[in-house]
Amino acid sequence: MNRRVRSSLSIALLLAMAVLQSGTATARDLVLAEAHPPTHPIVKSEELLVRRVAELTNGEINIQLKHSGQLGNEDAAWKNIRAASLDMTRINFATLVNEVPAAKLLGLPYLFRSRDHMWHVLSGDFGKRLENEIAKTGAVLLTYYDSGTRSFYTTKKPIRVRSDFDGQKIRVQGSPVYKDMITLLGGTPVVLPYDKVLDALRTGEIDGAENNIPSYVSAEHYKYARYYSFDEHSSVPEVLLISKKSWDSLNPEQQKAMMTAAAESNVLMKKLWAEAEARDLAKAKKEGAVIIEKNDLGMSGIEAYALKLYSKYVTDPTDLKTVLTILQSK
């Protein structure tokens, strides 16, 4: 090899090395589908996730956050994750009920006494079970996010006692647990995707729905459903997922960076959640929402009906043990 050829070869190799070291050669885009708009606290937490993943991988992984349902609703995201045609998503556990049996239990009313109780349960054996069941679907659980507590809200008259449900059409997510809960309470369940609820409240297709305060406000449901009854019947967390295929395409350092960033965004979400709840509640009140506090609700009647669900959904011996452990845990 003559000197000129050798030197051009060295230059070419040096350039290739520089590209590799700068990470450009291995840089990857991952798409993250999010249904909520930027006014919802989850988007801020995801923005931190995006930033931290880029920092921790020296720009090797670039997450493209597609918020406001740009890529479709949560059912579509969950399907696409399992088909590995989408890299990442944040969805509510209610979306997972058909493929992840433990997710159904999370929707049982009054399962958790408090947010601390829920976090304690998720960090223990039950969290492991969720993680394992999710792994079987072709997805990897990165972290959970706070989703507060869900309560009922209605357009025509407030819910104060069990009989106020009579004849009311209440929107629920597509889980049989929720459908049955509304039927037991005396109402008619209407399953609708989240992005159709506002219109359905506006046109009278439904008389009410149920959600946490930041979703009630950021999705503008409060503009038509003026009565929010703080019964706090469920606390169903959100989950951040990556498809198994996308996960396996990351090297161990990149996977570690992803887990670290996800854990950091979980911590931020807890803080943002508390702030968003207070801010959005004040906004809803200021704009005319009528808040019915728990003390003003006939809770014993409402609870008694809703709790009848347990006998239908907690029959399997493993589930019985699990639910009992959750209810009795500190």
Taking CB atoms, the residue at the shortest distance from ligand GTR is 92
39 or 249, CB closer to ligand GTR?
A: 39
Tell me the window of 89-97, 123-131, 156-164, 306-314 that interacts with ligand GTR (CB under 6 A): 89-97
* By the rule CB under 6 A, 74 interacts with ligand GTR: yes
Please state, as a whole number, how many other Cβ atoms lie within 10 Å of the Cβ of residue 292: 19
| β-sheet with 28-33: strand ranges across | 61-66, 28-33, 88-92, 238-243, 139-145
| Residue pair 259/321 in contact by the 8 Å Cβ criterion | no
* By the rule CB under 6 A, 45 interacts with ligand GTR: no
215 or 322, CB closer to ligand GTR?
A: 215
Buried b (16+ CB within 10 A) or exposed e, 183-221: ebbebebbebbbeebbebbeeeebbbbbbbbbbbbbbbb
* By the rule CB under 6 A, 143 interacts with ligand GTR: no
Which of 57, 80, 143, 147 is close enough to bind ligand GTR by CB under 6 A? 147
| Residue pair 167/205 in contact by the 8 Å Cβ criterion | no
Least distance (Å) from ligand GTR to the CB of residue 93? 8
Binding mask 231-270 for ligand GTR (x = CB under 6 A): -------x--------------------------------
| Residue pair 285/291 in contact by the 8 Å Cβ criterion | yes
Which of 45, 92, 143, 154 is close enough to bind ligand GTR by CB under 6 A? 92
* By the rule CB under 6 A, 89 interacts with ligand GTR: no
Angle value at C-alpha 78, between 77 and 81, nearest 5 degrees: 85
Which of 194, 227, 228, 310 is close enough to bind ligand GTR by CB under 6 A? 194
27 or 71, CB closer to ligand GTR?
A: 71
Closest CA to 266 of 95, 128, 147: 147
In the chain, which ranges are continuous DSSP H helix?
A: 3-22, 41-56, 74-82, 101-106, 115-122, 125-135, 176-185, 197-203, 213-218, 244-248, 252-286, 299-306, 309-313, 317-328
240 or 323, CB closer to ligand GTR?
A: 240
* By the rule CB under 6 A, 173 interacts with ligand GTR: yes
Which of 155, 168, 211, 243 is close enough to bind ligand GTR by CB under 6 A? 211
d(CA 186, CA 172): 14
Q: Which spans of this chain sit near ligand GTR (rule: CB under 6 A)? A: 35, 74, 91-92, 94, 147, 173, 194, 211-212, 215, 238
